[in-house]
């Protein structure tokens, strides 16, 4: 669901306007007043229920789902004096209309998690029953309140866990067990660290047990790798809420999450696509600039790096004579050869546009090392490139720079290498020119040995 432009909600084409929400809030208020154990002051109750409905709707439509809103709603019901064995189940029955109004596939699982959280918040805030009291029954279903919310808890289409403040799981639902691939009973009493990736454990400890737990309130969100029963790792997103115990009950943590492995893979793929050239598969200009910026940020005093700015000689003539299809095949073949020629050297080859490529030589990069890389790049095109029934002899020209890294600027380095490229082309192509920025001297042009 999402907020509409006319003061309402739009649920995949189903309008839920301000009046609909007010009607739902009023229905919820009247139903709870009918089952509440004790008399309740009725002033401002409509305002309260309208606010609670708004909070639940906002949680349902949020991009970053937070089930802890349900905990706060459960607490608010008790604080308003709305107590009784049928209050949680009646709330669930009324509020489930929110799912019926939406065609969004996320709404049902999210609402189930919210209703489970409402039950947890309600239970945490309510007084514990005296030993001689029997668990109250929901007359409509024959189930006790605890049993009814156990059904919601176990069947929510989202992972829910309750843990103590030391990181031990006290209870989990089927959603979490299926996410990990183990029976529910094997998770009770297990440390949360047992299923976290080793590299994520310190982050969990810092965020949850060094910040959330000492604060004694609030919600934190984390996305972490989770070890499955087959030894593989998936990604899960959790909202973890600190819930204060009442009447002698201990504090606990309520975690609500979902498997986001596919979303994470999609983000990684989009990240990769945004930083790689679709034709050659090489890193693109954005990737190159980011790599140079990182190199500059991590540089120590005296570190030197090199750049080789590569241009294919007379490439326009190939496109004009044989067509862009042949030109693309030439580009792909040149890219593969350039990359292969520096394999194992730590040099990054990127295509930054058209027939231009750049080789990044990270520290330590002496002028001799950069010259060796430049010669390797030239030699990569000694043999002709076969395209269909044609064998085309191609060559490249290279402008190279060597400079100290600390305090440098990525774009300035590329401009300096580009300037060297024009010098190389002016001297006959098929060669390289090396510029030492530290001493402002130029060596070359150097032909292929």
| DSSP letter for each residue of 71-135 | HHHHHHHHHTT--STTHHHHHHHHHTHHHHT---TTHHHHHHHHHHHHHHHHHHHSPPPPTTSPP
Q: What is the pLDDT of residue 112?
A: 76
Tell me, what's the pLDDT at 127?
47
For residue 289, what pLDDT is reported? 93
How confident is the model at residue 130, as a pLDDT?
38
**How many whole angstroms separate alpha carbon 269 and alpha carbon 136?**
52
Helix segments in 96-230, DSSP class H: 97-100, 107-125, 145-155, 174-180, 201-204, 213-215
Backbone angles phi, psi at 47, to 5 degrees: -65, -45
Cβ distance 330 to 396 under 8 Å?
Answer: no
Q: What is the pLDDT of residue 340?
A: 96
Instruction: Please answer whether residues 158 and 113 qualify as being in contact, where contact means their C-beta atoms are separated by less than 8 angstroms.
Output: yes
Both tokens assigned to 224: 């972490």
- Predicted confidence at residue 155, as pLDDT, reads 64
- Distance in angstroms (rounded) separating the CA atoms of residues 159 and 300: 46
The reported pLDDT for the residue numbered 17 is 53
- What is the rounded CA–CA span in Å between residue 22 and residue 27? 9
pLDDT at site 294 = 92
Q: Is 440 left (phi over 0), alpha (psi -120 to 50) or beta?
A: left
Which of 18, 14, 95, 36 is CA-nearest to residue 60?
95
Q: How far apart are CA 68 and CA 113, in angstroms?
A: 9
| Domains of the chain, earliest start first | 1-157 (no CATH), 159-270 (3.30.450.20), 275-447 (3.30.70.270)
Which pLDDT value is given to residue 324?
92
CA–CA distance, 27 with 48 (Å, rounded to integer): 13
Cα end-to-end span (Å), the chain = 67
Q: Work out whether the CA dihedral 255, 245, 174, 229 comes out positive or negative.
A: positive
The answer to whether the pTM exceeds 0.95 is no
Distance, CA of 235 to CA of 222 (rounded, Å): 10
Residue 398 contacts residue 432 (beta carbons within 8 Å): yes
DSSP SS3 for 448: coil
* pLDDT for position 439: 42
3-class SS of residue 391? strand
Q: What is the mean pLDDT of each run of 10 residues along the chain (449 residues)?
A: 37 48 89 81 81 89 79 85 81 81 72 78 60 43 49 69 89 88 90 91 90 87 90 90 72 86 90 93 94 91 90 92 94 96 94 93 91 93 92 91 86 79 69 66 42
Dihedral sign of CA atoms 282, 286, 290, 292 in order = positive
Encoded tokens for 320: 């004009």
């Amino acid at each position: 669901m999402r907020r509409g432009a006319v003061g309402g909600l739009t649920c995949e084409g189903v309008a839920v306007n301000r009046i609909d929400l007010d009607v739902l809030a009023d229905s919820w208020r009247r139903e709870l007043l009918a089952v509440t154990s004790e008399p309740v002051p009725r002033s401002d109750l409509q305002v309260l229920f309208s606010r609670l409905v708004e909070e639940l709707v906002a949680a349902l439509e949020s991009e970053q789902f937070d089930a802890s809103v349900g905990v706060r709603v459960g607490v608010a019901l008790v604080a308003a004096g709305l107590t009784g064995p049928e209050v949680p189940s009646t709330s669930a029955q009324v509020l489930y209309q929110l799912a019926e109004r939406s065609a969004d596939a996320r709404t049902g699982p999210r609402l189930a998690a919210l209703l489970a959280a409402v039950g947890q918040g309600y239970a945490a805030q309510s007084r514990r029953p005296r030993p001689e009291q029997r668990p109250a029954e929901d007359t409509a279903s024959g189930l006790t309140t605890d049993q009814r919310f156990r059904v919601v808890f176990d069947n929510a289409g989202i992972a829910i866990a309750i843990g103590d403040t030391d990181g031990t799981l006290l209870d989990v639902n089927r959603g979490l067990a299926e996410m990990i691939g183990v029976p529910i009973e094997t998770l009770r009493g297990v440390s949360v660290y047992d299923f976290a990736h080793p590299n994520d454990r310190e982050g969990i400890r810092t965020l949850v047990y060094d910040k959330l737990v000492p604060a004694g309130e609030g919600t934190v969100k984390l996305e972490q790798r989770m070890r499955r029963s087959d030894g593989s790792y998936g990604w899960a997103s959790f909202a973890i809420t600190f819930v204060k115990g009442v009447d002698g009950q201990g504090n606990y943590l309520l975690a609500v999450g979902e498997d986001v492995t596919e979303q994470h893979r999609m983000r990684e793929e989009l990240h990769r696509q945004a930083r790689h050239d679709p034709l050659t598969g090489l890193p693109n200009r954005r990737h190159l600039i980011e790599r140079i910026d990182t190199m500059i940020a991590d540089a120590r005093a005296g570190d030197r790096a090199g750049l080789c700015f590569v241009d294919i000689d007379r490439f326009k003539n190939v496109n004009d004579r044989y067509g862009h299809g042949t030109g693309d095949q030439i580009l792909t073949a040149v890219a593969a050869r350039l990359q292969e020629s520096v394999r194992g050297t730590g040099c990054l080859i990127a295509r930054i546009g058209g027939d231009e490529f750049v080789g990044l030589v990270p520290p330590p990069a002496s002028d001799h090392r950069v010259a060796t890389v430049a010669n390797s790049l030239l030699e990569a095109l000694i043999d002709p490139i076969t395209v269909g029934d044609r064998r085309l002899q191609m060559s490249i020209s290279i402008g190279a720079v060597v400079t100290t890294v600390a305090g440098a600027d990525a774009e300035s380095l590329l401009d300096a290498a580009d300037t060297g490229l024009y010098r190389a082309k002016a001297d006959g192509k098929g060669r390289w020119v090396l510029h030492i920025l530290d001493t402002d001297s130029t060596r070359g042009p150097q032909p292929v040995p």
